[in-house]
Amino acid sequence: MSTVTTPAPLARLTVRACTELVVPAREFACAIAAQQGFAPAALQRLELLTEEACLFVVEHGFEPGEDGSFDLILDRRPGKFVVAVEDKGLPIDFSKPPQESTLGLSLMRGFAEEISFLNLGKAGRRIEFTASLPARPVEDYLTAAERDRSAEPPPLATDTPRLRLMTEQDAVALSRCIYRAYGYTYVDFVYYPDRIADMLRSGLMMSCVAENDAGEIVGHLALLRNGPESAIAESAAAVVDPRYRGHALFKTMKIFMAEEAKRRGLLGLYSEAMTLHPFTQKGNIALGAHETGLVLAYVPGDVNTRKIDASAQGERAALLLYYMRTNAEPHRVIYAPPRHRAVLQDICQRIGLDREFAELSDTPMLAESTRLDIRVRPELGIAAITVRACGADAGQQIRHHLVDLCCRKVDAIYLDLPLGDPAAASVCAACEAAGFFFAGMIPEYDNGDVLRLQYLNNLDINMDGIVVVSDTGRRLFDHVAAERQRAGEGARVAAVA
């Protein structure tokens, strides 16, 4: 499998943990950010975020009088500028009320595009936030005719586009293609060709494009990896120019990229299909992908759904999870929660995964300490908690963060538990007692299989509006619906905590 070498950060500054040095540290971060081309307004937001993160470590990370320090790290990722603060101070006291916890930072006010709270084990902890790097938008490349969204739809094309791997030189053409298909309602990075080129260059994105006889990009499908060591990739950003709908481009591009994934040694592809219509689901099934979960309330109501009424499902729309195997995976042991064992066995059998379902112990082996990460996407109203290792206090930590996220009005919280951890089943039970319920399984997602749970924070969801096209998808739907009802429709934990 190909790997991506992680370069050194732009800068790393070690700072003594005292309030007098917070301002110089903040100014250092802003100076580096200014070199990346940020405008004054964006620099002001970065300044506030950096100061808040540094102050939190100084005020809560060490005992009074302790000679501690923290590292301020400035870095670039594809299309993103990263500010991170790392320290090896006091562990977080989860007996404190949520307002005093890690998430009780003004970082949660929505200034950052993504906020992460990462447990590094013996290496300490990391608070990080990201902002998009300045880049030329697609408007700079559009013709007057392309900008006119009121024009009549173009006639359907008759030529047959050819497929090839995308290069950095195709970035502008891709942004124009996505604009023609979706206007400005798609994910943000695709409207900035520089960011697309950055992602291709990094190796975290590989794509195919469909090119017509005139040399235009009229179709696209990407494989996105979470990190350089990811064993699987997400099949995403499937776009077809309106003139070429009905040409089966999605199917041919998916086959093309599945072969590319196989050639590069990836174990499989996972994808998310809309449940407002049957089209993407049918396409995945026809290609041999299998349903592995149903994630409720993931898609905000303002996301374009190709003129299909998104309100049928309430405030937010659901996604069906799919997995397509591309190479033989390693043998793995799964510690399945009893109430989900049959569903998980069915998923593994349908895909053909080499899995052994272990018998559970009354006293499961626990990690020395709980390790979990939290990523918050303020603009999407969602958060993800990823458990890396289950310690004795895993349920308590997750519940604590859940209460805090609910107080911060995050709409949907998703929790990934490692199915290869002997304590996963007992942690799952503790989380379900707090209002989480089953969402599905993603094979090989995080150095192994993960069980995904979900929590809806006082959302109005209409399950009758969810479109499911297959019998296996309907069985998953029924299991999720029953588990949601058993969980009491969620969102009561904040009131009783």
Q: 191: which DSSP letter?
A: G
Q: Do domains 10-134 and 136-266 have the same CATH topology?
A: no
Residue 206: strand pairing partners: 223
Residue 90's closest CA among 116, 59, 118? 59
Residue 40 burial by Cβ neighbours in a 10 Å radius (0-12, 13-18, 19+): exposed
- For the chain, give every domain's residue range: 10-134, 136-266, 268-497
d(CA 262, CA 362): 40
**294 phi/psi in degrees, rounded to 5:** -130, 110
Q: What is the 3-state secondary structure (H, E, C) of 287-355?
A: CCCEEEEEEEEEEECCCCCCCCCHHHHECEEEEEEEEEECCCCCCEEECCCHHHHHHHHHHHHHHCCCE
State the amino acid at position 449 in one-letter form: D
Tokens of 483: 């588990």
- What is the value of pTM for the model shown? 0.84
DSSP H helices in 240-290: 249-263, 279-286
Longest dimension (CA), the chain: 75
Domain 136-266 CATH class label: alpha beta
Looking at domain 10-134, its CATH superfamily turns out to be: Histidine kinase-like ATPase, C-terminal domain (3.30.565.10)
HEC sequence for 131-143: EECCCCCHHHHCC
Structural contact between residues 216 and 196, judged by C-beta atoms closer than 8 angstroms: no
- Cα separation values, 461 from 69, 98, 296, 300, 432, Å: 46, 27, 8, 12, 19
Per-residue pLDDT of the chain (497 residues; tens, 9 = 90+): 444 456 789 999 999 999 999 999 999 999 999 999 898 888 888 888 888 889 888 888 888 778 889 999 999 988 889 999 999 887 665 445 444 444 444 454 445 678 888 877 778 888 888 888 888 877 777 777 777 766 677 789 999 999 999 999 999 999 989 888 888 777 778 888 998 999 999 889 999 999 999 999 999 999 999 887 899 999 999 999 989 988 999 999 999 999 999 999 999 999 999 898 888 899 899 999 999 999 999 988 765 544 445 567 777 889 999 999 999 999 999 999 999 999 999 999 999 999 999 999 877 888 778 888 888 887 788 999 999 989 898 998 899 889 888 888 899 999 999 999 999 999 999 999 999 999 999 999 988 999 999 999 998 888 999 999 999 999 999 999 999 999 875 444 433 44
